[in-house]
C-alpha cells in the first residue's frame, strides 16, 4: 500500500514541509485554506470529517459548492471518523502522536467538550502545534458569538466602509474574513513550527477572523483619525482615505476600467494618453493634494474620456503609456487568466466527482522545486485504509473499526 507520507518531487528533492504531518479537523474556508497551503508546500494533510462529511462537502453534494470544496482540499488524505465515540477519539490520539500539527476551526470550547482539546492532545504529543481559528477568539466578551464571513464583516467594520455614501452598506464580494484568517493561521503555524525547531516543544496557536481583517481598514482608519474621530463616509470605488486622484472605476463603451494615479508621474502619463497635457498646468490639478480637493471634477473629465473607448482598446493604450490601471473582468475571464495559467497558479483538472474544473495552486513559490503536482480532492473516507495502515493497526482492528462505524 502507498505510504500516507509521500512528499518527494519527481527529481527526488524535497518541498519545504516534506515530512510534516497535519491533522485537519477544519471545515468550510479558513481552516481548510491554511491546510491547503501546507499541502501545497509538501506537508501530508489528513482531513478528518464526520461520517456525513464536512459542511462544504455536504453543500457540494447538494449542488453549488462543488468547486469551493475541490479548490480547498486538493492533495489531502480523507478519513471519516466519529469523534463523538470513545474509540474515535482514541484513533485521533494515535494520529496526533505521529503528527506535527492539528488544525481546527470549531466554535471555542467544542474540542474541549469532545475531550480532544489542546491540553489532552499536547499531553499525548508535547511537540504538537495545536492551531485554532474562530470568529472572535478563544477569550473576550465575543467568544461565543456565532461567526460567519458576513457577520464578521459587519462586526469588524468592513461592511460599514463598503459601498457608496448615498447607499446602504454592502458586503465585500469575496469571503475576505475567512481567507484573511486562513492566511494568518498558516503564518501562525509556520511561526510555531520554527520555534519548535529551537525549543523542541509544541504550542497552541490561535487566530480570530475579526483580528485578521482589522489591518485592512488602514486607509479608512487614517481618514477617521484625520477627521478628529468623525465617522467618514463610504467612498465607493474611490480610495478609502480619499488620498489619491484619479482613483476610481470608470466606464468604457463595453465595460469598466480601474485607473489609479498616486503621483504626478502617473497623472502626466494619463494626460498624455488622453491628449490633454494642458491639464498638467491647471491649478486644480497641479499635485495630488489639489486633485483630491477637486476629485469630482477629475472623475468627470476622466470618465468622459474613457467612455469613448472599448475596454480592451483602452487597456492597450494605457499600457503603452504606463498608466496604472486594469480592466474590470468577469469570472469567466479570471478563471481563464493567461498569466495565472502560465505560472501554474490556476490549473484545469479532471475531477472524479465534479468533472472538468479549474482549481488554484498556492500563491507561494519555492525555488529549487517544481509546484507540487495537484491531486483532486479525495472522496469522503477514500484514504481510510492507507491512514489506518500508517497507524499500524492490524487487519482485525480495522475490520472492527468499520463494523462499529468508528471510521
pTM for this prediction: 0.93
For 21-214+361-403, give the CATH class: alpha beta
42: which residues sit within 8 A by CB, 6+ positions away?
A: 7, 14, 15, 16, 17, 18, 20, 372
Reported as a single tens digit per residue, the pLDDT across 349-366 is: 999 989 999 999 999 999
Please name the helix (run of DSSP H) or strand (run of DSSP E) that holds residue 59, with its range, or none: helix 55-62
- CA dist 289 and 244 (Å) reads 8
**Pairing status of strand 129-134 against strand 44-49:** unpaired
Domain ranges within the chain, ordered by starting residue: 21-214+361-403, 247-328
CA atoms within 13 A on the CB side of 173: 2
Query: In angstroms, how far apart are the furthest CA atoms of the chain?
Result: 86
Q: Which CATH superfamily is domain 247-328 in?
A: formyl-coa transferase, domain 3 (3.30.1540.10)
**10 Å Cβ neighbour count for 206?**
17
Higher pLDDT, 63 or 217: 217
Helix pair 30-40, 176-199: axis angle to 10 deg? 50
Asked if 327 and 312 touch (Cβ cutoff 8 Å), the reply is yes
Reported as a single tens digit per residue, the pLDDT across 394-406 is: 999 999 999 999 9
What DSSP designation does 391 have? Answer: T
Q: Which of 184, 239, 266, 325 is catalytic?
A: 239
48: which residues sit within 8 A by CB, 6+ positions away?
A: 23, 24, 25, 79, 80, 81, 83, 92, 95
The pLDDT score that the predictor gives to residue 14 is 87
**10 Å Cβ neighbour count for 379?**
12
Task: Evaluate if residue 1 carries a pLDDT over 50.
Answer: no
239 is catalytic: yes
Amino acid at each position: 500500500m502507498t505510504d500516507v507520507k509521500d512528499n518527494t518531487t519527481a527529481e527526488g528533492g524535497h518541498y519545504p514541509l516534506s515530512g510534516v504531518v497535519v491533522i485537519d479537523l477544519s471545515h468550510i474556508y479558513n481552516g481548510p485554506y491554511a491546510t491547503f497551503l501546507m499541502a501545497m508546500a509538501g506537508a501530508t494533510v489528513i482531513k478528518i470529517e464526520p461520517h456525513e462529511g464536512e459542511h462544504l462537502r455536504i453543500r457540494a453534494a447538494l449542488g453549488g459548492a462543488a468547486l469551493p470544496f475541490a479548490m480547498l482540499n486538493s492533495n489531502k488524505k480523507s478519513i471519516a471518523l466519529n469523534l463523538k465515540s470513545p474509540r474515535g477519539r482514541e484513533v485521533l490520539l494515535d494520529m496526533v502522536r505521529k503528527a506535527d500539527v492539528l488544525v481546527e476551526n470549531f466554535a471555542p470550547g467544542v474540542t474541549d467538550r469532545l475531550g480532544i482539546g489542546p491540553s489532552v492532545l499536547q499531553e499525548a504529543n508535547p511537540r504538537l502545534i495545536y492551531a485554532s481559528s474562530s470568529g472572535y477568539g478563544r477569550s473576550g466578551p465575543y467568544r461565543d458569538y456565532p461567526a460567519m464571513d458576513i457577520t464578521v464583516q459587519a462586526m469588524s467594520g468592513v461592511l460599514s466602509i463598503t459601498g457608496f455614501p448615498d447607499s446602504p452598506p454592502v458586503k465585500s464580494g469575496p469571503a475576505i474574513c475567512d481567507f484573511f484568517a486562513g492566511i494568518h493561521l498558516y503564518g501562525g503555524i509556520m511561526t510555531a513550527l520554527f520555534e519548535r525547531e529551537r525549543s523542541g516543544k509544541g504550542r497552541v496557536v490561535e487566530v480570530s477572523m475579526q483580528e485578521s481583517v482589522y489591518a485592512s481598514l488602514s486607509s479608512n482608519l487614517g481618514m477617521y483619525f484625520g477627521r478628529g474621530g468623525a465617522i467618514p463616509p463610504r467612498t465607493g470605488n474611490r480610495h478609502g482615505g480619499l488620498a489619491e486622484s484619479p482613483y476610481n472605476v470608470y466606464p468604457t463603451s463595453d465595460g469598466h476600467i480601474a485607473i489609479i494615479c498616486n503621483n504626478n508621474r502617473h497623472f502626466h502619463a494619463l494626460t498624455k494618453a488622453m491628449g490633454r497635457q494642458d491639464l498638467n498646468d491647471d491649478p486644480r490639478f497641479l499635485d495630488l493634494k489639489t486633485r483630491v480637493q477637486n476629485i469630482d471634477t477629475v472623475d468627470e473629465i476622466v470618465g468622459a474620456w474613457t467612455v469613448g473607448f472599448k475596454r480592451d482598446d483602452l487597456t492597450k493604450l494605457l499600457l503603452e503609456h504606463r498608466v496604472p490601471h486594469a480592466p474590470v473582468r468577469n469570472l469567466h475571464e479570471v478563471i481563464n487568466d493567461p498569466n495565472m495559467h502560465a505560472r501554474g497558479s490556476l490549473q484545469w483538472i479532471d475531477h472524479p466527482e465534479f468533472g472538468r474544473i479549474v482549481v488554484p495552486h498556492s500563491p507561494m513559490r519555492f525555488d529549487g522545486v517544481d509546484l507540487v503536482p495537484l491531486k483532486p480532492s479525495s472522496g469522503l473516507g477514500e484514504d481510510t485504509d492507507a491512514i489506518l495502515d500508517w497507524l499500524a493497526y492490524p487487519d482485525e482492528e480495522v475490520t472492527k473499526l468499520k463494523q462499529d462505524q468508528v471510521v
